[in-house]
Amino acid sequence: MAQYVEVTDAIKMPGLRVVLTPGVPGPWSEAAKAILHVKGLPYVKVRQELLGANLPLLGWTAQATAPVAVWNDEPPRCTWIEQLYLFERLAPAPRLIPQDMDERMLMFALANEVFGENGFVWNRRHIMVRDFSGPDQPDEVRESFRFLGQKYWYGDAAAAAAPGRCAEVLGRLADRLRAQRDDGSRYCIGRSITALDIYCACAFALVEPLPQDQCEMGALFRSVYTTTDPVVRAAADPVLREHRDFIYAQHLELPVDL
Ligand SMILES: N[C@@H](CCC(=O)N[C@@H](CS)C(=O)NCC(=O)O)C(=O)O
């Protein structure tokens, strides 16, 4: 079990502090941890309280969500793209942002589809809210997902669009991975790992989580993460799981340390 410090203590510390939600393998947080692992960057884990008010975190970073990365006295980095630039600056090797401009533009475009606002993970969360906030759910589950829905602007239009948005992103990634495979590469772009490989591998947890011996999850979380939506399932080409398993086996920490 990972060690976490409280936000109130972390604020006073120098160096790299990363706010994470203990026990929850959220894709944005797992990707931040994975990048730090690949780069061998030391950091202190800081506790975010799942579904809590997180007032000290709000005071420190002007928002209440995880992950956040804070380096010394610099501004807190609250989104995946700021975190990637920070980690790449602190540890330039191995490079996770392609040097070639065409590859770099492609990587950020696809990464935004997976991890950006209204991308795959965002819309997959809308589907969770849709499926777990109804009157048939136990009170605690329903209230938790209603809270998440309000926090991340869930509504009828968002729910209606979400499966199609998720499926189009998965389809585009699967096409790309197949083309890369035909060209002799197991990676999303070029012939070595980029941040996009990590984002895809971590996002796939919301289609099918890693097995229990590699990522310990409670029964409720496992069922919330496992996709049952027929549109999303149909788009979950096996090449995506093969890529996730390859990236974890070759580059990331297993079992996942929560
Ligand atoms: N701000 C991040 C996204 C992070 C995010 O949305 N985290 C959610 C994952 S569901 C979270 O921490 N939710 C738990 C909570 O709000 O308590 C980014 O855009 O890169």
Q: SS3 string of 154-212?
A: CCHHHHHHHHHHHHHHHHHHHHHHHHHHHCCCCCCCCCCCCHHHHHHHHHHHHCCCCCC
Query: Could you read off the pLDDT of 114-159 as tens digits, one per residue?
Result: 999 999 999 999 999 999 999 999 999 999 999 999 999 999 999 9
The answer to pTM > 0.95 is: yes
pLDDT of residue 148: 94
Q: Is the CB–ligand 1 distance for residue 224 below 6 Å?
A: no
Position in ligand 1 atom list of the atom nearest CA 49: 17
Q: Is the CB–ligand 1 distance for residue 5 below 6 Å?
A: no
Work out the average pLDDT over 54-83.
98
Taking the centre of ligand 1 as the mean of its atom positions, its distance from the CA of residue 31, in whole angstroms, is 12
Q: Spell out the domains of the chain, with CATH numbers in brackets.
A: 7-90 (3.40.30.10), 101-251 (1.20.1050)
Percentage above 90 pLDDT, the chain: 99
Position in ligand 1 atom list of the atom nearest CA 66: 12
Work out the average pLDDT over 87-108.
98
Q: Is the CB–ligand 1 distance for residue 66 below 6 Å?
A: yes
pLDDT of residue 57: 98
- pLDDT, averaged across the chain: 97
In the beta sheet, which residues pair with residue 45? 18
Query: Could you read off the pLDDT of 13-37 as tens digits, one per residue?
Result: 999 999 999 999 999 999 999 999 9
Q: Look at residue 1 and tell me whether its pLDDT is greater than 80.
A: no
Position in ligand 1 atom list of the atom nearest CA 117: 19
Work out the average pLDDT over 92-97.
98
- How many CB atoms lie under 10 A from the CB of residue 117? 10
Query: Could you read off the pLDDT of 165-200 as tens digits, one per residue?
Result: 999 999 999 999 999 999 999 999 999 999 999 999
pLDDT of residue 238: 98
